[in-house]
Amino acid sequence: MTTQSEAPTTTGAQVPLKEKISYGFAEFGSQFIWTTVGSYLMTFYTDVASFRRRPPATSCSPPAC
């Protein structure tokens, strides 16, 4: 069993710029998809499925559930 003090340390190890850029593009793509899907579902639920828009705090209070 190794403890924190016994674990080997690597000094000077940096993430290459190419990898940082790759992670940035991947995160941008992920957020773009989630935003697009969320916006579509919000429009679908309110316009097509006729769900009423309510504030999140009152969405499931006992009289409304």
pLDDT in tens, 9-56: 667 789 999 999 999 999 999 999 999 999 999 888 888 887 777 666
> Which residue intervals of the chain are DSSP H helices?
17-43
- Percentages helix, strand, coil for the chain (3-state, rounded to 5) are 55, 0, 45
Give me the amino acid identity at 32: F
Name the pTM for this structure. 0.55
> What pLDDT does 52 receive?
75
DSSP 12: S
